[in-house]
Amino acid sequence: MTQAYEFLFGVFVFVLGAVVGSFLNVCIYRLPADLSINRPRRSFCPACKQPILWHQNIPLISWFLLRGRCTKCGAKISFRYFAVELLTALLFLAVWQTFPWQMAIAYWIFVSLLIVGTFIDFEHFIIPDRVTIGGIIAGVIASLGVPALMETDSRVAAAVRSLLAAALGYVILLLILEAGKVAFGRKRIRFDTPTPFTWTKREDDADFVVGSEKSLWSDHFARQKDRLLLQCDEAKVENHSYGNVTLGFHYDRVTVEEEQFLLDHVNEISGVARELLIPREAMGRGDLKFLAAIGAFLGWRAVLFSLFAGSLLGSVIGLITLITGKRVWSAKLPFGPYLAFGAISWMFFGDVFLQWYGNLLNP
């Protein structure tokens, strides 16, 4: 009887996770686009914007029945929708089978935030404040309600520990970010042959193309004081032509010799470059708040472990892409998913890691 009860409850939790995963897909699609997550209430096709009928939106099942395509316009539906639902269902089940029910409910909220942040970061290289700051607030509230998350019986002590762990996560990555800016804040690219470039205005942003490399202008400017330099054999800013000149760009303006142009009033800049100096960041500031949210739910040791494990995995992935020749100078590597990997690893295997580390220090 007990085994049947556990099986039925496990099935319920798995289905619940799949349903929550379906909602997380809505968040992953709508949050970066600054769309409401509850209006319209029904999901719609990203291509034709037509509402999806309820019987065509059954978690895990519908994607296979529809063969990954919209029934209205035939557009392809990303496999990501099925993957998020399955991943959420599996994590919900694993959490339920591992932790007491009070902690399990808190961790369901936590893994949901991790999944949303991970998939948005993979696709857009950002982690919205509603995920990070919302995660910090949710972590503190969860610790206040379930002090066992912070390994204490006192609600006040748990809330304080949660806040301190969040602050630790933010400050550690902030120090790394600033140190990385000082040490590796600029990257120089010398071209083998003179290379054509274009800067083309696009609404509030611009397309920046150098040779075969294309990027958004805003991707290169994380700080107001950041400066990008282009050494050119020739350059043209609107109707002004120059030869053998250095273009000095800030996000909103460009300086050429003694002249300065506001980019709001410029539609296109083009020319031939021989050297490029670009500003860069070690990571985005969303990662700082993401690690703070991890600390708010899991405590200070999880902050250190997530940073270590995430950095290790990110370095391995970066090295593999470098060896396989897929990395280019404008490529970015999201750090949030690797922090999430470290957090999940700590949540399930933190005690095992501590025991292994203790045995390593004292064999």
Domain ranges of the chain: 1-94, 99-184+282-363, 186-279
Question: In this structure, what token pair is assigned to residue 268?
Answer: 């296109």
φ, ψ for residue 223, nearest 5 deg? -130, 155
pLDDT at residue 187, rounded to an integer = 87
Radius of gyration of the chain (CA): 24
The total of other beta-carbon atoms located within 10 Å of residue 9's CB is 13
Residue 200: strand pairing partners: 207, 268
Strand, helix or coil for residue 221? coil
pLDDT at residue 120, rounded to an integer = 96
Question: CA–CA separation, 161 vs 261, rounded Å?
Answer: 51
Residues 6+ apart with CB under 8 A from 312: none
Quote the DSSP letter at residue 45.
-
Phi-psi group of 244: left, alpha or beta (phi > 0 → left; psi -120 to 50 → alpha; rest → beta): left
The bridge status of strand 268-279 relative to strand 186-202 is antiparallel
- Total-model pTM: 0.87
pLDDT at residue 299, rounded to an integer = 96
Question: CA–CA separation, 140 vs 212, rounded Å?
Answer: 47
Quote the DSSP letter at residue 70.
-
Question: CA–CA separation, 209 vs 192, rounded Å?
Answer: 17
Residues 6+ apart with CB under 8 A from 6: none
**Torsion 348-156-304-125 (CA) sign:** positive
Residue 187: strand pairing partners: 278
> Contact 108/92 with Cβ under 8 angstroms?
yes
Distance of CA 129 to the CA centre of its chain: 11
Residues 6+ apart with CB under 8 A from 263: 201, 206, 251, 252, 253, 254
- The CA-based dihedral angle spanning residues 119, 120, 123, 126, taken in that order and rounded to the nearest 10 degrees: -140
Question: In this structure, what token pair is assigned to residue 143?
Answer: 């610790």
> Contact 319/279 with Cβ under 8 angstroms?
no
> Contact 94/348 with Cβ under 8 angstroms?
yes
pLDDT tens track, the chain, 363 positions: 578 878 888 899 999 999 999 999 999 999 998 888 887 777 777 777 777 776 677 888 888 877 778 777 877 888 999 999 999 999 999 999 999 999 999 999 999 999 999 999 999 889 999 999 999 999 999 999 999 999 999 999 999 999 999 999 999 999 998 998 888 888 899 999 999 999 999 888 999 999 988 988 988 888 888 999 999 999 999 889 999 999 999 999 999 988 999 999 999 999 999 999 999 887 888 999 999 999 999 999 999 999 999 999 988 887 887 777 655 666 677 899 999 999 999 999 988 888 887 777 776
φ, ψ for residue 155, nearest 5 deg? -65, -40
The total of other beta-carbon atoms located within 10 Å of residue 336's CB is 27
Question: CA–CA separation, 191 vs 197, rounded Å?
Answer: 12
